[in-house]
Amino acid sequence: MGSVVCKFGGSSVADADQIKKIGSIIRSDTNRRFIVVSAPGKRHKDDQKITDLLYLCHELAAQGLDISEPFHIVRERYLEIACGLKNSLDMQALLKKVEQRIISGASMDYVASRGEHLCALLLADYLGAAFIDAAEVIKFLNNSRVDDITYTLLKERLGEEGLYVIPGFYGSTEKNEIRTFSRGGSDITGAIVAKAVSAKVYENWTDVSGFLMSDPRIVSNPKPMREVTYREIRELAYMGANVFHEEAIFPVHGLNIPINIRNTNSPDDPGTMIVDKRDTGGGIVVGIVGKTNFSLIFIEKLLMNRELGFGRRLFEILESHGISFEHAPSGIDTMSVIVRDDQLKGKKRVLIEDLKKILNADRVEIENGFALITTVGEGMAYRPGIAARLFTALAEVNVNIRIIDQGSSEINIIVGVEAKDYERALNAIYQAFC
Ligand code: ASP
């Protein structure tokens, strides 16, 4: 039996009771030997995350301002957890040291990393596990990429037996300066550890039982997603299905290490398995997700199709205005580009002028108020009738489709509809496939 890497997110370490749940999860399976933790997150909607408070402390200290108020909240939080766990660590002294380092000008990454560092110390003590400081094993190159030496170091330190706790989110540079990943980066640490120990599975414990097949705010009671491939997750994440840090897929992709998204508050739920390949017999479509606030830039020019370099010039203009685009469905004499509304802020008028002038276009228009819905599933590729089913579902609820785009991998179909039709359309597609 291979080993299991378990990463516990901020809500799973938010207080002593949550950490006790981790204890029973770990004890219930002896293969769960490598534990990666986040910093304590929110206990309720209006609570504060330790990492946010630490960033605030750093910002205040950098301006020579008093950090006692936010640091007091940090201190109380850790002391409360330590007390609830009957910890044997001298938490007061550890916190004092961190406070002093912040005041004396420690780097932002160092300050932020202390959230995970202290949390891992507490958890290791509670579980009777060995604590491994991520600064000693997760190494960054100068360009912020993870150095391959990381895997050798991890293998050396993580033995054949025993239980280990490693703080997530940070590592160190060649000069031993602390460096963090982007926010939510403990997921990446977990994936790196999973690769290093060739884990049987990488369990990512959070506060939901995996992914749902659609947005529960719009579709009532969407079904849970049991199995999904890395490629499908990428497509879904693009539309905001973000339970998991996107970059965390890369270390384990192609190694046959599935990622299992699990719920600390409901440990018996199987959660969602993210795998390299799935049997599409289990479902053609895995998810239907969408987003509003898109605009359509429409350009018409007679004989456009014969004009060499037209597309290049169009995208150069967008680039010169710092606009990144999402999709670009085109016709014979027309091209349209879909962009997020925020990309056009304050730029619309000049952009239209430039497009007309440089492209010598007959017509340039920008229309906003669009929603995009993507239907994702490896099972859709090379299978006739899927698009027909999708379009029929929309026709039946009287939704007009303004944009159609299918990725060349054929694992997604994106439709653009007017924002007013968004919820109706999402529900209709969900009912047609799930
Ligand atoms: N604590 C960090 C954050 O809040 C990293 C993590 O939780 O993964 O972003």
CA of 41 to the centre of ligand 1 (A): 8
Give dist(CA 228, CA 258) in Å, integer: 10
Q: Which of 42, 49, 204, when mutated, tests ligand 1's pocket best, judged by the most ligand atoms within 8 Å of its CB? A: 49
Choose one of 180, 183, 245 to mutate for the ligand 1 pocket test, by most ligand atoms within 8 angstroms of C-beta: 183
What is the number of alpha carbons within 13 Å of residue 135 lying toward its C-beta?
Answer: 12
User: Model confidence over 203-261: pLDDT tens digits?
Assistant: 999 999 999 999 999 999 999 999 999 999 888 888 876 778 888 988 998 899 999 99
Residue 382's pLDDT band, with cuts at 50, 70 and 90, is confident
Distance 117 CA to ligand 1 centre (A): 12
- How high is the pLDDT of residue 224? 92
- Residue 225 near residue 244 (C-beta atoms within 8 A): no
Whether residue 407 has pLDDT greater than 80: no
Binned at pLDDT 50, 70 and 90, residue 84 comes out as very high
pLDDT greater at residue 159 or residue 91: 91
Distance 179 CA to ligand 1 centre (A): 13
Cα four-point dihedral sign 46, 50, 52, 55: positive
Is pLDDT larger for residue 410 or for residue 362?
362
| pLDDT reported for residue 143 | 80
Overall average pLDDT of the 155-166 stretch: 93
Contacts from 248-251 at CB under 8 Å and sequence distance 24+? 248/187, 248/188, 248/190, 248/191, 248/204, 249/191, 249/274, 250/191, 251/146, 251/188, 251/191, 251/192, 251/194, 251/195
Answer left, alpha or beta for residue 23, where phi above 0 means left and psi between -120 and 50 means alpha.
Answer: alpha
- Residue to mutate, 78, 111, 169, 182, ligand 1, most ligand atoms under 8 Å from C-beta: 169
Q: How far apart are CA 195 and CA 165, in angstroms?
A: 16
User: In the predicted model, is pLDDT for residue 409 greater than 80?
Assistant: no
Residue nearest to atom 6 of ligand 1 (CA): 184
User: At 268, is the pLDDT very low, low, confident or very high (cuts 50, 70, 90)?
Assistant: very high
pLDDT over threshold 70, residue 1: no
Q: In the 8-state DSSP scheme, what is residue 43? A: S
Ligand 1 contacts CB of residue 114 (under 6 A): no
Distance 367 CA to ligand 1 centre (A): 38
* pLDDT at 263 > cutoff 90: yes
| pLDDT in the model for residue 432 | 95
Q: Relative to the CA of 115, which ligand 1 atom is closest? A: 1
Partners of 295 in the β-ladder: 339
Element (DSSP H or E) covering residue 237: helix 230-238
Tell me the domains of the chain and their CATH numbers: 4-277 (3.40.1160.10), 287-433 (3.30.2130.10)
Residue 159 pLDDT > 90: no
Q: Span 295-309, mean pLDDT?
A: 91
Residue range 366-392: mean pLDDT, rounded = 92
**pLDDT of 241:** 67
Contact yes or no for 168/9 (Cβ under 8 A): no
The average confidence (pLDDT) of the chain is 94
Q: Which residues pair with 345 in a beta bridge?
A: none
User: Is the CB of 206 within 6 Å of ligand 1?
Assistant: no
pLDDT band (50, 70, 90) for residue 377? very high
Q: Between the ranges 132-136, 282-286, 346-350, where is the mean pLDDT highest?
A: 132-136
Whether residue 168 has its Cβ less than 6 Å from ligand 1: yes
3-state secondary structure of 104: coil
| For range 379-406, the mean pLDDT | 92
pLDDT one-digit tens code per residue, 118-131: 999 999 999 999 99
Atom of ligand 1 nearest to the CA of 187: 8
Per-residue pLDDT at 59: 98
Q: Tens of pLDDT along 330-348?
A: 889 999 999 999 999 999 9
Distance in Å, CA 64 to ligand 1 centroid? 26
The residues that bridge with 421 in the sheet, in sequence order, are: none
Is the entire prediction scored with pTM above 0.85? yes
The pLDDT assigned to 369 comes to: 94
408, pLDDT greater than 80: no
- Please give the distance, rounded to the nearest whole angstrom, from the Cα atom of residue 37 to the centre of ligand 1: 9
